[in-house]
Structure 1
Amino acid sequence: MTGILTTHVGSLPRTQEVVDFIFARERGEPYDSGAFDAAMTRAVSETVRWQVAAGVDIVSDGETSKISYATYVKDRYTGFDGDSPRNAPADLKRFPGFLKRIAESGGTPQYARPMCVGEVKSKGQGELEKDIANLKAAMAEHGATRGFMNAASPGVISLFLQNDHYPTRDAYLAALADAMKAEYETIVAAGLDLQLDCPDLALSRHMLFSDLSDAEFVKIAASHVEALNHALSGLPPEKLRIHICWGNYEGPHICDIPMAQMFDTLMQARPRHVLFETSNPRHGHEWTVFRDRRADIPDDKILVPGVVDTTTNFVEHPDLVAERLSRFAGIVGADRVIAGSDCGFGTFAGFGAVDPDIAYAKLGAIAEGAARASAGGAAAAS
């Protein structure tokens, strides 16, 4: 085996200072914008330092300045106001006692999800350029040579910020694709990899489209990929990553659509790097989909399986990480595998199931497991 690189899905725990600033802005409270910017710069530097120390090869800014991976767009684009309906995942609705327990324990994040009520247009790339500058400065300071930045896909925006302006869902997706294109291009032009977060390709099945059949949902997902590919047109696939997700929460997940049904749709997306869950108990077995569909994986695709779970404070043993990586290396070769995480560790500012110190311990387990897999420390699964 050649050396297997390491990365993660993007979001990392924020400091309390960062969380306080973000929620002051979220609530419309007065705050010092200069102090806000300085706090973000310090926090990104520290976040990158911790990633490098843990052995992460491809680092991110931890999505430090964002309230969440999808709803941040309401602050950077026009057309959003009011509030969108809150749809609990279908699996939690089947267990109302558990849903009530996590709601009462503060286990669901509180943040604005406005509706689309007007034309979606960029307010400019100023906030994004600050994020890029912070990440690149932190990489230079701490010796990281490759970085990526997350951006919301048109589909996931349509999931959380629902449409009350455009005549059809497809028209809304097209408008979002056109509006987000400049953000995507700015990230790649800065020399960073661009990660498109696409829970809409899985999570939305049991949130927004639970009344549809699986076949009907797959058609919806295909339209989301079509809009995404349009927004990414002209960008080099090797600079692009896509992450599919069934929801980064501890729960039964019995309503998740199987990877086998989303495989073809996922492979049609333009990004070369494909990030997906394969560690949590509901999706750990689905590495076999890639094994059984090996002939249908395009030769240029790089698989980035999640080799640690992001909803539990167990720290995976490096040998288990190596075993998981070896399975995929046995399918496409080690040079087309990068070690990742199932999802993010700080999906919403101030909210995360995993203790911050344990999150970085898990990143360390990814790095150690990748080293062991690269050295042949775990036999490839047959």
Structure 2
Amino acid sequence: MKQSTHRILTTHVGSLPRSQAVSEGVFAEEKGSLKDLNGLAETIRGAVKDVVKLQVDAGVDLVSDGEMSKISYATYIKDRISGFDGDSPRNAPADLEEYPGFLERQAKGGGTPTYRRPQCVGEIKHVNMAPLKADIDNMQAAMVDNPATEGFMNAASPGVIALFQPNNHYKTQEDYLEALAEAMRPEYEAIVAAGIILQLDSPDIGLGRHMMFKDKPDSEYQKLAETHIEALNYATRNIPADKMRLHVCWGNYEGPHHCDADMDLVLPVALKAKPQALLFESSNPRHAHEWTVFRDADIPEDKILIPGVIDSTTNFIEHPKLVAERLCRFAAIVGRERVIAGTDCGFSTFAGFGAVDEDIVYGKLAAMAEGAQLATKQLWS
């Protein structure tokens, strides 16, 4: 994983706005109504080239494919591993349950994405590498045309798959997580073998507190969340830590978030994960104050921090001076070489849905890059 000894690098969490053609194509494929598979493949290939160029032009150093081929970051796996079918009942986060009027408004306004979340109904095995191969080929081709410092690719962690696709087959949740870990292992290893940094998306560690663990006391939540990290570490046992980064969050939606677990509960769990770098929310109004948790924690010397220095749910463009201020706080904690500028979460967690206008997304990323330049001047002056 790239580290800089002379400036603050920039990245983001992964998903970026898809074009209408991409969104319509992936949903048509999902519904079984797509008539031109080759046409969609070309559309996605072109979209990946475009989105990598937009990132580079905005000043992003560590770029992704924007998750162009995926409807969502967790459910895409049903096309790659066996054992999933049907749909799952929706389980609203605890904060939205307490404000049902807002939850209803979200649903009516299109803020609740509608797509299939299959359940585990059979044996979990990896069966199809073709979609991943296409993703890797598209990413590599895009970076030839638009060189960036480094590329990363998102993959769902075993825990987040279990969060959104409940188990109706395995005797225990531990058995389910182990099966998911082994089934996802080929995807994880293939991404790294292609020379791309693996980003494991694990919002189950934070978001899971007020969804799948909402009825548990804090101590039990932490214990159960640690089983998710154990499954992740098992799945990545053959991958060096410095080829991986881990993203944790509390759900990428504008809402109360007053039921979010405090960072002092989440961080000890997240630090047990093998990936070298940790991406986390630190800009939105519910978590911006929690930089002090990192200040007071015992952060391992090999860990890289990638704090979110811009919010992914509002159309405010952060001032570069605020971005620099946030970066310098974390640099004071772990050192300037171990801090990379990031975003709170993705900008298009689900295809066709994003709270932030597409043009403003790149305005925010450009402001992040400018803020990183300001922080660099302060930290290396």
TM-score by length of 2: 0.97
Residue of structure 2 in register with 1:334 after alignment? 336
8 Å CA contact 1:139–1:145 kept in 2: the answer is no
**CA displacement at 1:55 relative to structure 2:** 0.3
Residue of structure 2 in register with 1:120 after alignment? 124
Identity in percent: 61
Alignment RMSD? 1.2
1:349 equivalent in alignment to 2:351? yes
- 1:66 is aligned with what amino acid? K
8 Å CA contact 1:323–1:378 kept in 2: the answer is no
| 2:199 partner SS | strand
Which runs of structure 2 are paired with 1:210-289 in the superposition (5 Å)?
210-289=214-293
8 Å CA contact 2:281–2:343 kept in 1: the answer is yes
Residue of structure 1 in register with 2:90 after alignment? 86
8 Å CA contact 1:322–1:378 kept in 2: the answer is no
List gaps (5 residues or longer) in structure 2.
none
8 Å CA contact 1:372–1:378 kept in 2: the answer is no
**CA displacement at 1:106 relative to structure 2:** 1.3
Which runs of structure 2 are paired with 1:172-187 in the superposition (5 Å)?
172-187=176-191
1:306 equivalent in alignment to 2:308? yes
Residue of structure 2 in register with 1:155 after alignment? 159
User: Partners of 2:348 and 2:380 in 1: how far apart?
Assistant: 30
**CA displacement at 1:377 relative to structure 2:** 7.8
Which runs of structure 2 are paired with 1:320-331 in the superposition (5 Å)?
320-331=322-333
| 2:310 partner SS | coil
**CA displacement at 1:199 relative to structure 2:** 0.6
1:201 equivalent in alignment to 2:188? no
List gaps (5 residues or longer) in structure 1.
none
TM-score by length of 1: 0.97
Residue of structure 2 in register with 1:66 after alignment? 70
Which residue, out of 13, 18, 25, partners 1:14?
18
**CA displacement at 1:124 relative to structure 2:** 2.3
8 Å CA contact 2:310–2:342 kept in 1: the answer is yes
User: Partners of 1:78 and 1:29 in 2: how far apart?
Assistant: 21
Residue of structure 2 in register with 1:102 after alignment? 106
User: Partners of 2:214 and 2:84 in 1: how far apart?
Assistant: 25
User: Partners of 1:377 and 1:234 in 2: how far apart?
Assistant: 36
- 1:363 is aligned with what amino acid? L
User: Partners of 2:145 and 2:44 in 1: how far apart?
Assistant: 15
Residue of structure 1 in register with 2:367 after alignment? 365
**CA displacement at 1:145 relative to structure 2:** 3.5
Aligned length in residues? 377
8 Å CA contact 1:319–1:378 kept in 2: the answer is no
Query: For 1:333-369, what per-residue CA distance to the aligned partner results, in whole angstroms no more than 9, with x for missing partners?
Result: 1100000000000100000100011011111111100
User: Partners of 1:145 and 1:324 in 2: how far apart?
Assistant: 23
